[in-house]
Chain A
Amino acid sequence: MKNVLNPALFTHREGTTEGFNNLCTIIHQLRDEGIYSGEIQRGKNLIGNFTLCFDKKFPTHEVHIDAAKFDPLFNKESCGQSGEQTFEVGGQGYLVLYTSGSHADLRVKLYRRDEKKVERSYDTANLSTGDMVVFRLARPGSYRVQHTTEKHGMTLAVRSAGERKYPSGLGKFPPINVKLTPRGFDPAQVEQWPFQALIIQIEIPGALRLELRDEKAASKKAKRR
Chain B
Amino acid sequence: MPTVNLAVNERAFNEVIKGLGKKLESLPPFSDTGSFGPFSLRYDLGFRLVDGSVDLTNTGRVHIDELQLTYDPFILTFGIDLPHIHVGGECILWIPIKGCVLHLPEIDIWGGNPDITVPVNLSHTIVSEFSGEFTVTTRKQILVAKGTLSDHQAHATPDTSNEIRDGFRTIISSTLPFLPAAQVNALADALVPYVKSNLADKWQFFLHDVWHDFDLIDIAATAANILRNLVDLIIDKILAPVPDLLKDIVKAIISPIISAIEAILDIPDDILEWLSSVLQTSFGLLDVIAQFIINFIGSMVPFYQFESNYPMIEDSTGLIPVLVPVEKLAVAVDDDELTVSADIL
User: Which chain A residues have a beta carbon within 8 Å of chain B's beta carbons?
Assistant: 1-10, 22, 25, 27, 61-62, 64, 66, 77-79, 91-92, 94, 96, 98, 100, 132, 134, 136, 138-140, 161, 165-168, 170-172, 174-175, 194-195, 197, 199, 215
Q: Which of B107, B109, B118 contacts A1 (CB 8 A)?
A: B118
Chain-A contact segment, one of B131-139, B242-250, B329-337: B242-250
Residues in A neighbouring B248, C-beta threshold 8 A: 161, 165-166
Of A4, A7, A172, most B-chain CB atoms within 10 Å: A4
Is A10 within 8 A of B242, CB to CB?
A: yes
> Does the CB pair B246–A171 fall under 8 Å?
no
Answer whether residue B238 sits at the interface, using C-beta atoms and an 8 A cutoff: yes
Q: Determine if B246 and A64 form an interchain contact, defined as CB atoms under 8 angstroms apart.
A: no
| A66 pairs with B105, CB closer than 8 A | yes
Within 8 A of A (CB), among B221-255: 237-243, 245-246, 248-253, 255
B180 sits at the interface (CB 8 A) = no
Docked pose: A3 CA to B115 CA in angstroms: 10
Give bound CA distance, A8 to B243, whole Å.
12
B87 close to chain A: CB less than 8 A: yes
Bound Cα distance A195, B88 (Å): 8
The answer to the question of B96 belonging to the interface, with a C-beta cut-off of 8 Å to chain A, is no
- Tell whether, in the assembled complex, residue B88 and residue A136 are in contact, meaning their CB atoms are under 8 Å apart: yes
Task: Name B76-91 residues within 8 Å CB distance of A.
Answer: 82, 85-88, 90
Residues of A contacting B105 with CB < 8 Å? Answer: 25, 64, 66, 96, 98, 100
CA distance A138 to B112 in the complex (A): 19
Which of B102, B237, B240, B249 has a CB less than 8 Å from the CB of A195?
B249
| Interface of B, helix, strand, loop or mixed by DSSP | mixed
If A91-B101, A174-B90 touch, whether A4 touches B242 (CB-CB below 8 Å) is no
A3 touches B102 (CB 8 A): no
4 closest Cβ pairs, A-B complex:
A166-B252, A61-B101, A171-B87, A170-B252
A-B residue pairs in contact (CB < 8 Å), sample of 26: A1-B237, A1-B240, A3-B111, A4-B114, A4-B116, A4-B237, A5-B110, A5-B239, A5-B241, A7-B111, A10-B246, A22-B107, A61-B101, A91-B98, A94-B93, A96-B103, A132-B92, A136-B88, A136-B104, A165-B248, A166-B248, A171-B85, A171-B87, A175-B104, A195-B253, A215-B245
Taken together as a complex, chains A and B put the C-alpha atoms of A199 and B242 apart, in Å, by 26
Q: Report yes or no: A138 in contact with B249, Cβ–Cβ below 8 A.
A: yes
Residues of A within 8 A of B103 (CB): 62, 64, 96
* Cα–Cα, bound, A170→B243 (Å): 18
A1 to B111, CA, bound (A): 13
Q: How far is the CB of A217 from chain B (nearest CB, A)?
A: 13
Residue numbers of B with Cβ under 8 A of A are 82, 85-88, 90, 92-93, 95, 98, 101-105, 107-118, 237-243, 245-246, 248-253, 255
Residues from chain A with a CB closer than 8 A to the CB of B116 are 1-2, 4
| B238 lies within 8 A of A134 (CB) | no
- A170 surroundings in chain B (CB, below 8 A): 249, 252-253
Q: Are A168's CB and B252's CB within 8 A? A: yes
Task: Say yes or no: B246 contacts A6, CB within 8 Å.
Answer: no
Chain A contacts of B255 at CB under 8 A? Answer: 168
A-side contacts of B93, CB under 8 Å: 92, 94
Q: Are A94 and B111 in contact (CB under 8 A)?
A: no
Min distance, Cβ A6 to any Cβ of chain B, angstroms: 5
With A4-B82, A4-B116, A140-B245: A25-B87 Cβ-Cβ less than 8 Å: no
A138 to B252, CA, bound (A): 12
Is the Cβ of A171 less than 8 Å from the Cβ of B253?
Answer: yes
Known: A166-B248, A170-B249, A199-B92. A134 touches B87 (CB 8 A): no
Contact of B245 among A139, A167, A174, A197 (CB under 8 A): A139
Give the CA-CA distance A201 to B112 in the complex, in Å: 33
Query: What residues of chain B lie closer than 8 Å to A215, measured between beta carbons?
Result: 245
B232 to chain A, nearest CB (A): 15
Q: Give every chain B residue within 8 A of A98 (Cβ-Cβ).
A: 105
For the complex, what is the distance from the CA of A132 to the CA of B113, rounded to whole Å? Answer: 32
Point out the residues of chain B lying under 8 angstroms from A175, CB to CB: 90, 92, 104
Are A134 and B104 closer than 8 Å at their CB atoms?
Answer: yes
Contact B87 A139 (CB under 8 A): no
Q: Closest approach, in angstroms, between the C-beta of A9 and any C-beta of chain B?
A: 7
> Which residues from chain A contact B109 at a C-beta distance below 8 Å?
5-6, 9
- The interface residues of chain B lying within 8 Å CB-to-CB of A197 are 88, 90, 92, 104
> Among A5, A78, A166, A195, which residue has the most Cβ atoms of chain B within 10 A?
A5
* Shortest CB distance A195–B (Å): 5
Q: Is the CB of B243 within 8 A of A165?
A: no
Complex contact A4–B246 (CB within 8 A): no
Residues in B neighbouring A195, C-beta threshold 8 A: 87, 249, 253
What's the Cα separation between A94 and B113 when bound, in Å?
A: 30
Q: Within the complex, what minimum Cβ distance (angstroms) separates A222 from chain B?
A: 11
Q: Given the complex of chains A and B, what is the CA–CA distance between A138 and B250 in angstroms?
A: 9
- Contact (Cβ within 8 A) B112 A78: yes
Question: What A residues does B82 contact at CB under 8 A?
Answer: 4
B107 near A6 with CB under 8 A, answer yes
CB distance from A63 to the nearest CB of B (A): 11
When chains A and B are docked, how far (Å) is the Cα of A161 from the Cα of B249? 9
